[in-house]
Amino acid sequence: MSTKKKAEEHEITNPFDEMIKRLDVAAKIMKLDEEVYQIVKKPSRMVYCSLPIKLDNGKTQVFEGYRVIHSTALGPSKGGIRYSLDVNEDEVMALAAWMAFKCAIADIPYGGAKGGINCDPRHMSKGELERLTRAYTGAMADIFGVDKDIPAPDMNTGPQEMAWIVDEFSKITGGFTPGIVTGKPLHLGGSLGRVEATGRV
């Protein structure tokens, strides 16, 4: 496939552009103030990190990590962390925006955020995933916080990754901080029914 065709397909399916298109429609219906629109359409903070991880074979691979905070207007930002080869800046920006809009519509006192690491967890060992998760937590230690930004599981992450985040963040900050994430194991203060809740209406 030519580079031009790939670029055209990316442009068509760019998730952030698609989010903006839908926001434009909603803004017109709502007659949203132009100044508010300009604030709402852009993320308030974007963080990129480079994560060199030693693999089980002794080689070092550098992974790309992201955290986007779309808004904290209603409260601390909240949103999952996904591990996927599809993770990129545009995807994470779009998902952070949708999270902010969902919280606002549901009248929940949280802002929207999203994070991710470009990796293929299906071909990584548990040890490699742990080292990657801990490195990401270290890179985002100044971003995360119970009153700042609260991660959660998303695609290809779950209670185990959240437990590693709690442990690493607690080591870095010098105090046990289970509230830094949701979706953690029950023995760390996780909630019963959390997995099922995301599919309920």
Q: How far is CA 136 from CA 51, 64, 87, 114, in A?
A: 7, 9, 14, 13
Catalytic residue among 41, 114, 126, 184: 114
* Full pLDDT tens readout for the chain, 201 residues: 455 555 555 555 899 999 999 999 999 999 999 999 999 999 999 999 999 999 999 999 999 999 999 999 999 999 999 999 999 999 999 999 999 999 999 999 999 999 999 999 999 999 999 999 999 999 999 999 999 999 999 999 999 999 999 999 999 999 999 999 999 987 787 766 555 555 445
Fold (CATH) for 43-197:
Rossmann fold (3.40.50)
Question: Nearest CA to 40 among 80, 100, 90, 109?
Answer: 100
Tokens linked to 62: 């550098």
| 114 tagged catalytic | yes
131 three-state secondary structure: helix
Tokens of residue 33, six digits: 């103030």
For the chain, the 3-state helix, strand and coil shares in percent, each to the nearest 5, are: 45, 20, 30
Residues of the chain with CATH 3.40.50.10860: 43-197
**For the whole model, what pTM was predicted?**
0.87
pLDDT at 198: 55
* Continuous H helices in 31-158: 34-40, 89-105, 126-139
State whether the Cα torsion 20-26-28-31 is positive or negative.
negative
Specify the pLDDT at position 178: 95
